[in-house]
Amino acid sequence: MVDTLIPGLGPALGPELGDTIFEEPGEIGVVDEESLITLNLGPQHPSTHGVFRLIMQLQGETVIGAIPVMGYLHRSSEKLGEVRTYVQGTVLTDRMDYLSPITTNWAYALAIERLSGLVVPERAEYLRVITGELSRIQSHLVAIGTFGMDVGTYGTPLLYALRERESVLDLLALPTGVRMNPSYIRYGGVARDAPPEFFPQLERFLRIFPSKIDEYEAILSANEVFRNRTINVGMIPPEVARAYSVTGPILRASGVDYDVRRAEPYSIYDRFDWDVPVRYNGDCFDRYMIRIQEMRQSTRILLQALDAIPEGDIRAKLPKVLKPPKGEAYARIEGPKGEIGFYLVSDGTANPYRYNVRPPSFVNLTCLSQISVGHKLADAVVILGSFDIVMGEVDR
């Protein structure tokens, strides 16, 4: 039997016709066919963070069902990866999570190193940690800035966050050479060494950055409107988060203490003294707070890495064209959005036989419709904002 692949809308996720729902506290409404509204949120809506579409079924303002539709940004990166060489594949990873390209580079490089047994020099490991944590900060800054926009704090927090993001991008431009899509972390090491002026500039930034985080907290965490819009909204219980393979800040906001940097320390993360922030309510506010706290922890890691970085090589001895031995490898790292995994199969030639990505945003979206059901439409937008998705990564 050959499948006809007829697209459908899938099963209803929320209450069925005739069920009773709570419209307002104390007021009970009945789901009936006449008052059901189907609403397209997106794909060109500013609150969808790219081209993401949610087909919402509404009863009044209450969400009865939410069906995510994606693929508008699909560029067949995985198929392209199979016909490119290993070093060309790095460029494809930049375009996945374009807010934090260096972490995706890193996962890809780790998979190749596991495949071919390359050993990365010490200085390169430190440069990886420094640039990786800087891009985590940069990604979280965009996340909390745009999240403020979703909640309704026009402009100010986003501009504050983008101000620091500019500093981070300027800093990252020193070792990588460019502001966006750097392809910096490559198999066997990093692309270029950091110039000497990079380290004092980074230290100056790290000294002022905690006070900037305090500014965001003053303007967002202490804001009554912000708190009312986010606290107890979109709560993900820990058992739901575990069942749906959720990772990253969303998972840790639900009270599950899991960070790949701790669970399976890659690179040199076992040398630093830092904490995994965990919060227990699992709502949108906790997801926001986890990102704030992770930026503080990244600052801690960066300061220690800055003190300890040694001199030396930045690249292992590499052949002109890398042909890893036959085999397969899975490598995973903790990206800003969650666990980024790369599964590579080598058949002994210069191209990967299989090039497969585990995008954290894509997997985290699995539980979105379950979480949105029962909330108001405006809250569904807040929940989507708190998930911090990047469509380049979801669609690849």
Partner 1 sequence: MPDYDPLTISDEELKKLPPAERGAVYKARSAARAAGGGAAATAAPRPAAAGGNGQTTAAAAPAPGAAPTQGAAPTQGAAPTQGAPAPAQGAAATGTPAAAAPAQGAAAPAAPAAAASATPAAAPPAAKPAPPKEPEKPKEPPFVQHILESIPDSTFQWRHGYAELKVPRVRLLEAAQALKADGFDYLSFVTEVDWQDRLEMIYHLFAYDYRAQPLGAILRCDLPRDGMPEVASLTSVWPGAEFMEREAYEMMGIRFLGHPDLRRILLPDDFVGFPMRRDYQTDYEYITVKQLAHESD
Binding stretches for partner 1 (CB under 8 A): 1-3, 5, 7-8, 10-11, 70-71, 74, 76, 78-79, 114, 242-246, 251, 256, 258, 262-264, 328-330, 332, 339, 341, 343, 345, 353-354, 356, 358, 362-363, 365-367, 395-396
Least CB distance to partner 1 at residue 355 (A): 10
Taking the least distance from each CB to partner 1, the nearer of 2 and 119 is: 2
Question: At 248, is the secondary structure helix, strand, or coil?
Answer: coil
Q: In angstroms, rounded to a whole number, what is the distance separating the alpha carbons of residues 327 and 350?
A: 13
Least CB distance to partner 1 at residue 142 (A): 24
Q: Which residues of 195-210 are buried (b: 16+ CB within 10 A; e: fewer)?
A: eeebeeebeebbeebe
Taking the least distance from each CB to partner 1, the nearer of 67 and 316 is: 67
Least CB distance to partner 1 at residue 2 (A): 7
Taking the least distance from each CB to partner 1, the nearer of 10 and 325 is: 10
Q: In angstroms, rounded to a whole number, what is the distance separating the alpha carbons of residues 168 and 163?
A: 9
Taking the least distance from each CB to partner 1, the nearer of 109 and 256 is: 256
Least CB distance to partner 1 at residue 358 (A): 4
Show the beta-strand stretches assigned E in the chain: 20-24, 27-30, 36-41, 53-59, 62-69, 185-186, 189-190, 327-334, 339-346, 352-358
DSSP string, 78-100: HHHHHHS-HHHHHHHHHTTSTTS
Task: For residue 334, give the amino acid letter.
Answer: E
Tokens standing for residue 41? 């949120």
Taking the least distance from each CB to partner 1, the nearer of 114 and 315 is: 114
Tokens standing for residue 125? 């490991």
Least CB distance to partner 1 at residue 36 (A): 20
How many other CB atoms are found less than 10 A from the CB of residue 361?
A: 26
Neighbour-count burial of 9, counting CB atoms closer than 10 A to its CB (0-12 exposed, 13-18 middle, 19+ buried): exposed
Least CB distance to partner 1 at residue 240 (A): 9
Taking the least distance from each CB to partner 1, the nearer of 199 and 353 is: 353
Question: At 326, is the secondary structure helix, strand, or coil?
Answer: coil
Taking the least distance from each CB to partner 1, the nearer of 344 and 380 is: 344
Least CB distance to partner 1 at residue 217 (A): 29
Query: What is the DSSP pairing of strand 185-186 with strand 189-190?
Result: antiparallel
Q: In angstroms, rounded to a whole number, what is the distance separating the alpha carbons of residues 258 and 52?
A: 28
| Residue showing tokens 């985590």 | 136
